[in-house]
């Protein structure tokens, strides 16, 4: 813990830790020492962690990287972080992210961008997003692991951009209680770690059935670490042809082929599969996610939390809402709220929101059919490129940024577990990741496949 705290002090340029909690960390570390001495120490005991700013941590600023939550210190702890503290883990502080987890580059954070610690030339690159602070902090050894959340790829894409492991569990595996909601039917928290084994251990600690989240599944949490045998003989790996996009960089193609060969060498059978509705995933996601976001973000009204705008003479409650939300939300969040409100409006609900929900069901059915045909895991690239330069995408059309999620959003729409594993470097020397998608509730098996790729 002390080594991490001093590394954090020396790593200001990365801008990953935005609220530091050294006193809490040292208290928890001392308590962990005592537990270890007493012989009552689970695997996470004494492990120093960074926590994404989206998690409510009692008495500690939890801002979702938004000005609208400035000064907000929750009265309660999220279930996921409570599970980690109960196991003896240590909180070093809160990590930057895209505002309300909307973005793929960490550039929408009210704290300014996070810098990717991978430096191969003069370019400052993004660590990805929205869990960019988590990814940068783990990759730069500021913490041993971090929590992330993933609505459309926000654990897996930053993991790929920084050469670490990130798993989004099956929807319902991890409690959403106390995690600031973005798109409730898609959001899941998960670990971001240096290795597959760490991911297995930390995921096991984060999971629990939680009556406070009605979508939290009441099923046993297996020992994910015990699943890491490295034996995948006879497993069937699906390679979906629709993920071979036009204009895909040759380096990504090559990495994908290498990953396929690694799984084959380990005794798995490689099967070409089709997931025909893949091309509709991105448009469906960018209707469903903003729709849910516009509803979830209605609560930030200047009354209940954080920031309230200064009002002029004669301003009433309407002006208070309008000014507070105009000042408090950044441009990307405002764009999502407007898109979401539009697609849910009486005149357009059927054409957009309902249509997107139907497409979502078809995307899920594609996966169901592949698994019913005996596929155990699906291998795809995690991202369409390695980490891009800061400013490079943010200045372009916002749709350019959305295209980054092309390989990851399908997994959230279908509620499946997905993991990003670092598998190689591109010609510039930047990390690249592959994604494995698993059967629902089979995170152990998924992690074991990832273990072979690592």
Residues forming contacts to ligand GLN in the complex (CB under 6 A) are: 101-104, 130, 150-154, 182, 289, 405
DSSP 355: H
Q: Which is nearer to ligand GLN, 42 or 398 (CB)?
A: 398
Q: Which is nearer to ligand GLN, 251 or 405 (CB)?
A: 405
Q: Which is nearer to ligand GLN, 117 or 152 (CB)?
A: 152
436 backbone dihedrals φ, ψ, rounded to 5°: -115, 135
Q: Which of 18, 181, 180, 21 is nearest to 112 (CA)?
A: 18
Nearest distance in Å: CB 440, ligand GLN: 19
Q: What ranges make up the beta strands (E) of 266-404?
A: 269-273, 377-381
- Pick the catalytic residue: 52, 94, 168, 236? 52
Enumerate the β-bridge partners of residue 270.
237
- Pick the catalytic residue: 66, 130, 134, 216? 130
Torsion angle, alpha carbons of 158, 159, 162, 164, to 10:
170
**15 neighbors 97 (Cβ within 8 angstroms):** no
**437 neighbors 240 (Cβ within 8 angstroms):** no
Q: Which is nearer to ligand GLN, 324 or 410 (CB)?
A: 410
Nearest distance in Å: CB 17, ligand GLN: 20
Q: Which residue reads 């591109």 in tokens? A: 426
Overall residue count recorded for the chain in this entry: 454
d(CA 40, CA 45): 9
Sorted by sequence, the CB contacts under 8 Å of residue 35 that are 6+ apart come out as 41, 45, 46, 88
**From the CB of residue 75, how many other CB atoms can be counted at a distance below 10 Å?**
7
Q: Which is nearer to ligand GLN, 149 or 448 (CB)?
A: 149
d(CA 196, CA 448): 8
**Residue with the shortest CB distance to ligand GLN:** 154
Tokens of 344: 């849910």
Give yes or no: 427 in active site: no
Give yes or no: 52 in active site: yes
Nearest distance in Å: CB 130, ligand GLN: 4
Nearest distance in Å: CB 276, ligand GLN: 23
Q: Which is nearer to ligand GLN, 103 or 238 (CB)?
A: 103
Give yes or no: 78 in active site: no
- Pick the catalytic residue: 154, 175, 294, 386? 154
Tokens of 338: 């407007």
Sorted by sequence, the CB contacts under 8 Å of residue 162 that are 6+ apart come out as 116, 117, 118, 127, 128, 135, 136, 138, 139, 387, 431
Nearest distance in Å: CB 88, ligand GLN: 28
d(CA 49, CA 424): 26
Q: Which is nearer to ligand GLN, 4 or 101 (CB)?
A: 101
Q: What ranges make up the beta strands (E) of 197-330?
A: 236-240, 269-273
- Residues designated catalytic: 52, 130, 154
């Amino acid at each position: 813990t002390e080594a991490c705290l001093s590394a954090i002090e020396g790593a200001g340029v990365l801008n990953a830790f935005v609220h530091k909690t050294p006193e809490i960390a040292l208290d928890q570390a001392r308590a962990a020492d005592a537990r270890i001495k007493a012989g009552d120490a689970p695997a996470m005991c004494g492990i120093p962690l960074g926590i994404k700013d989206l998690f409510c941590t009692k008495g500690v600023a939890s801002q979702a990287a938004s000005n609208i939550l400035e000064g907000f210190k929750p009265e309660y702890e999220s279930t996921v972080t409570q599970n980690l503290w109960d196991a003896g883990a240590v909180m070093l502080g809160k990590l930057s992210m895209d505002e309300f987890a909307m973005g793929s580059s960490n550039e929408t954070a009210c704290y300014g961008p996070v810098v990717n610690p991978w430096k191969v030339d003069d370019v400052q690159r993004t660590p990805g997003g929205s869990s960019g602070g988590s990814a940068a902090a783990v990759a730069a050894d500021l913490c041993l692991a971090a929590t992330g959340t993933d609505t459309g790829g926000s654990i897996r894409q930053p993991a790929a951009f920084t050469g670490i492991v990130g798993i989004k569990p099956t929807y319902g595996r991890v409690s959403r209680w106390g995690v600031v909601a973005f798109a409730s039917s898609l959001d899941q928290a998960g670990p971001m770690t240096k290795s597959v084994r760490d991911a297995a251990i930390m995921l096991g600690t984060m999971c629990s059935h939680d009556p406070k989240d009605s979508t939290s599944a009441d099923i046993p949490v297996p020992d994910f670490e015990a699943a890491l045998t490295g034996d995948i003989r006879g497993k069937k790996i699906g390679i979906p042809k629709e993920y071979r996009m036009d204009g895909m960089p040759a380096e990504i193609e090559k990495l994908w082929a290498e990953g396929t060969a690694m799984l084959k060498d380990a005794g798995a059978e490689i099967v070409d599969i089709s997931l025909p509705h893949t091309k509709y995933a991105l448009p469906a996601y960018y209707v469903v996610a903003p729709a849910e976001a516009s509803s979830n973000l209605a609560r930030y009204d200047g009354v209940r939390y954080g920031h309230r705008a200064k009002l002029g003479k004669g301003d009433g409650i309407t002006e208070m809402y309008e000014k507070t939300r105009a000042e408090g939300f950044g441009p990307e969040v405002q764009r999502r709220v407007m898109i979401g409100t539009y697609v849910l409006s009486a005149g357009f609900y059927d054409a957009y929101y309902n249509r997107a929900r139907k497409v979502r069901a078809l995307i899920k059915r594609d996966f169901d059919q592949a698994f019913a045909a005996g596929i155990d895991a699906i291998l795809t690239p995690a991202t369409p490129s390695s980490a891009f330069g800061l400013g490079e995408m943010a200045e372009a059309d916002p749709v350019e940024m959305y295209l980054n999620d092309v390989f990851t959003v399908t997994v959230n729409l279908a509620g499946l577990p997905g993991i990003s594993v670092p598998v190689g470097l591109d010609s510039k020397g930047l990390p690249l990741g592959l994604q494995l998608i698993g059967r629902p509730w089979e995170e152990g098996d998924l992690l074991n496949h990832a273990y072979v790729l690592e």
